[in-house]
Amino acid sequence: MRVLMIALLFAAAAAGQAASGPDQIHIAWVEEPSTTLTVLWHTAGADAPSDVQYRPAGSKKWLSGKGGPRNSGTTGQLHEATLRGLKPSTKYEYRVGGPGGAWSDVYTTRTAPRRGRPASYDVVFVADTGMIGREDGLTTGTKQVIEEIAKLDPLLVLLGGDYAYYNTDKRCGTLDNTIDAWFNQMKPVAVKAPMLPTYGNHEIFHGEGYEPWAARFPTPEGFDHRKYYSFNVANAHFVAILVPGASGSEVPQAALAWIEQDVRAAQKAGYQWIIPFMHVAPFSDGSNHPSDLKLRAQMGPFMEKLNIPFVLTCHDQSYERTYPLKGVPDNIQAGSTSKTCYPPKDGTAWVKVSPGGKMSNINGKFAQWKTTPAPAWTAFRDNTMHHFARLRISGDAIKVEVFGVPGDGKPPVVQDTFQIRSSGCE
């Protein structure tokens, strides 16, 4: 009875939000990030127009953008509109159309710096969020993680997968209702920063599915129906790699060939930073989701061959970072034992950032370590907090700051920080 009441309350809240105007508003980059923005939103009725008004921040004159319906499983209608001909590195205000000619609130976002040129900007990576207010009490950090990311106001948010955990949280009734609620809880971030995803085991294997989520997340086309894709921001090239785990963790050979071709083309074009992100971790000493050794054997030499300085992963409910490694998997050696700074030639650091709000159903808390003391390849680890990472990208360096969120309302702390410097480290 209690579960039914909660589901009804969720449905009523969603209906009330939709009835008062557009909801699930979020931003994406499908085309060139420096001159376009793709806006999505939901309305309760299918007859609402797919209209957007936008203007450079501070301007008084609204410009008009026209979109159309986007097929998805939501009730009502999901709308999508791509705004083109925008100026790079520019703040824009926008609002989206609702029923009866009404408009949403006005939100502010911004375009990316000009493609191919060095620039300074922030990117956040977060995963394993869960839904606020789970009955089992496991999402102790979700609300605060979302709020803290919104405060940092990054240009871009990379999502690592495992979003709603629908198999253990059915308060909203259906999967599509749950996805609706997840996008609404992400509003403080989603209305300001494009969210570009990859997907985890919970989107692929646990009664959810790639298609329902991909229908809500526009991305560049990439390869294999957008399971693998890339995009450029200033002098950085981001690559989303589908590694959901649970079965067949290795990347298919056709996809691996596409990734290599894509990365080498970006390097040839002069992009200084190549930043892959994926769900499953090849290096993980957590007991809930330990190191995927098949993936390590495949991706370790692959990333080393491509001279990738670090890879963003998640999946296990803890934070870990390796030293930059070479010789994976059979002759693992640290290219440097510095804790703070590495030139790209030192090898590939594997950075596992989790959880972004939800503790594990396996043990009901953060992951416990399998090895004490930590493995020799470990530069830093923590399993006492929720985590997200901020990448501070500049012309010749990336500074990675990993925030720990206690989940009790206390301010977040920067638990770990390191830099990749193209000019070398002192």
Question: 243 and 262: one domain?
Answer: yes
Same domain, 264 and 148: yes
Flag whether 198 is in a domain: yes
186 and 270 housed in the same domain: yes
* Residue 362 bridge partners (DSSP): none
Residue 426 located in a structural domain: no
265 in the same domain as 408: yes
The three-class DSSP label of residue 350 is: strand
> Pairing state of beta strands 349-352 and 310-313?
parallel
Say if residue 315 is in the same domain as residue 374.
Answer: yes
Q: Considering only CA atoms, which of 4, 79, 94 is closest in space to residue 46?
A: 79
CA end-to-end distance (rounded Å), the chain: 63
Residue 260 domain-assigned (yes or no):
yes
Q: Give the global pTM.
A: 0.95
Same domain, 19 and 125: no
- The Cα 72–Cα 26 span in angstroms is 15
Q: What pLDDT shows up at residue 364? A: 95
Last residue of a domain, one of 88, 110, 132: 110
Judgement on whether residues 412 and 321 belong to the same structural domain of the protein:
yes
Cβ-based neighbours of 8, under 8 Å, separated by 6 or more: none
| Cβ atoms within 10 Å, residue 224 | 12
Indicate whether 208 and 348 sit together in one domain. Answer: yes
Structural domain tally of the chain? 2
**183 shares a domain with 34:** no
Q: Does 42 share its domain with 139?
A: no
CA 257 to chain centre: 23
Query: Domain with 48 in it: what CATH number?
Result: 2.60.40.380
SS3 label, residue 289? coil
Per-residue exposure over 398-410, b if at least 16 CB sit within 10 Å of its own CB, e if not: bbbbbbbbebeee
Distance CA(397)–CA(390), nearest Å, equals 13
Q: Which amino acid is at 99?
A: P
Nearest to 126 by CA among 318, 356, 405: 356
Last residue of a domain, one of 51, 86, 110: 110
Q: Are 14 and 177 in contact (CB under 8 A)?
A: yes
Residues 97, 219 within the same domain: no
End position of a domain, from candidates 90, 110, 130 = 110
Range of the domain at 129: 121-421
Q: Token pair for residue 286?
A: 């957590």
Sign of the torsion formed by the C-alpha atoms of 61, 67, 72 and 74: positive
Half-sphere exposure of 60 (CA within 13 A, CB side): 0
80 shares a domain with 129: no
CATH number of the CATH domain containing 147: 3.60.21.10
For the chain, give the longest Cα–Cα distance: 65
Residue 147: inside a domain, yes or no?
Answer: yes
Concatenate the DSSP letters of all residues of 119-170 into one string.
--EEEEEE-----TT-TTS--SSHHHHHHHHHHH--SEEEE-S--S-GGG--
Strands 310-313 and 156-159: unpaired
Residues 280, 243: Cα–Cα separation, whole Å:
6
Over its length of 426 residues, how does the chain's per-residue pLDDT go in tens digits? Answer: 333 334 433 444 443 344 468 999 999 999 999 999 999 999 999 889 999 999 999 999 999 999 999 999 999 999 999 999 999 999 999 999 999 889 999 999 999 999 999 999 999 999 999 999 999 999 999 999 999 999 999 999 999 999 999 999 999 999 999 999 999 999 999 999 999 999 999 999 888 999 999 999 999 999 999 999 999 999 999 999 999 986 557 999 999 999 999 999 999 999 999 999 999 999 999 999 999 999 999 999 999 999 999 999 999 999 999 999 999 999 999 999 999 999 999 999 999 999 999 999 999 999 999 999 999 999 999 999 999 999 999 989 999 999 999 999 899 999 999 999 998 887
As a whole number of angstroms, the distance between CA 28 and CA 33 comes to 9
Identify the H or E element spanning 365.
none
115 domain residue, yes or no:
no
- Give the span between the Cα atoms of 334 and 189, in whole angstroms: 36
